[in-house]
Structure 1
Amino acid sequence: MYKILKAEKLADKIYLMDVEAPRVARHCQPGQFVIVKMDDKGERIPLTICDYDREAGTITIVFQEVGASTVKMADLKAGDSFRDFTGPLGCASELVEEDIEDLKKKKILFVAGGVGAAPVYPQVKWLHEHGVAADVIVGAKTKDMLILEDAMEAVSGNYYPCTDDGSYGHAGMVTTMVEELVNNGNKYDVCIAIGPMIMMKFVCLLTKKLEIPTVVSMNPIMVDGTGMCGACRLIVGDEVKFACVDGPEFDGHLVDFDNAMKRQQLYKTEEGRAMLKLQEGDTHHGGCGNCGGDK
């Protein structure tokens, strides 16, 4: 059992929990995720790691109510426990593999939308701890929906909140904030965008035009988290990939977002899953060759 040490509501339908998971905390890196289960019959829920404390042996997760399982999860309190807390899973951010001195020479931009601020935070924090400053744009519908503001501002070089309704910070979408920064003379070597699929799509369309290499996290389409179910199958360039075992981060300019969003909708129904299996054949699940799902 994995004890919940802290449970906090961050915004409407968005929650944060600190969970006692020493082994995961010892080995995780920014960009990776865990799978949680509340009980023996509970749904497997993949969640990107928001923060970790190796000494305390804790992992911080942030989640949004989107279905029955996450609604039930929101009722858990400090002192309750998860039946399973599996991880770290997925590949770490490519940033942690780069030479620190090379990173210090780069101008890095993060763009987060909604709950996407949670997986952005550990990467920005990791960079900050290694002396690398990054600009961070975080967007939400309203000021009340912005999360982790104080924590994000503390570790970012420059923090730019955006609200769709103009109630706080930059008035408008995150893409208009990106354009404003570039028009003001900022030159970025790389952009990391994490958030709703439609947001990442339009950030990538813009950064491709601006010739800024862009990395996206495809964690929003994960279901099983092991490559077995096929939910997170996507096309990257001319290759079939699975977000959970090959990612979750990919070159955003090569991701076929339209295909991924269409699959995401079809996968929600039994008939849709049957159609996808028929259309995709051997690559429907296990096609990556790494997860064993094709055996």
Structure 2
Amino acid sequence: MDRLDAIRLFVRVVEKGSFSAAAREAGIGQSAASKQVAALEARLGAQLLQRTSRSMAVTELGQTVYDAALRLVDDFSAIESLVGQGQSKPSGLVRLSVAPVFGRLYVVPHLPAFFAAYPDISVEMAATDRHINLIEDGFDLAIRHGNLSDSSMTARLLAKSFFVTVATPVYFARHGVPQAPRDLIDHACIGFTSRQDIRPWTYARGVTHHPQGPFRTSDAEQGRAALLAHLGIAHMPAWIVAPEIASGALQMVLQDHAVETTPINAVYPSRRHLPIKTRLLIDFLATTLARDLAVPGHGIATEIGPLG
């Protein structure tokens, strides 16, 4: 293993928080990883990591070396990517974290076209609503919904999806169509829960409705199924039900009172050069979202984010 590989291994040990995890990723044994980092320390004449039988910590000097090493690794990766773009087709595995419903509706159906365009790129998709740690868990990219709180990540806005209030035509035929948010008090409202709290519905001019009804859920797929079973009215991001709105299976109401939006972002580690394989997947998703989230004739003003 050359010096650059040893530096890369040291960076991954710091980011993973353990020799064993970094060794597994590099495809070597834990003892070999420990020896490589020890050899790097000997060459630099400084202790970078404090090791005990149960824990590992980065020394103050080790943190300084890590910051410099990160820039070095990023710069070399950028050189490799630039050279690779000129000499070979984009290739490699992109590990993507995505919410289950979003992946099913907006990622998986388009993968055949993506693979046709880039046959040497493969995608591994983890479907989870949990906000995983991209660096620690070894992911290249995540698609996240709502406002972002992790400032250590770089985010690219893909789209802003308006919230819509919807139910089936069957439900409205049975119970009537609300003309204003205040009318919702007379309807069965499907609530979405977060930490056991039911999320309020927000409308223009500061109007808030607290939904009441026989069914509530924390899962968007279940909420969509409840709508299609005529259980009530729901208020949710348009992307979840855009196909059903386009087909007429669901009908939007209270559009003149709509105001709330939710951003859809591609998120990736901020201190990492963005590989061409990952950038291509982000560009592809931005393009397909622009088409998928447009619902002609139904007034969903979904805004697509910049592609740069």
- For Structure 1 versus Structure 2, the TM-score category normalised by the shorter chain is under 0.3
Which of the pair is proportionally richer in strand?
1
RCO (CA 8 Å, sep 6+): is it higher in 1 or 2?
A: 2
State the TM-score, normalized to the length of structure 2.
0.23
Structure with greater helix share of residues: 2
TM-score normalised to the size of structure 1? 0.24
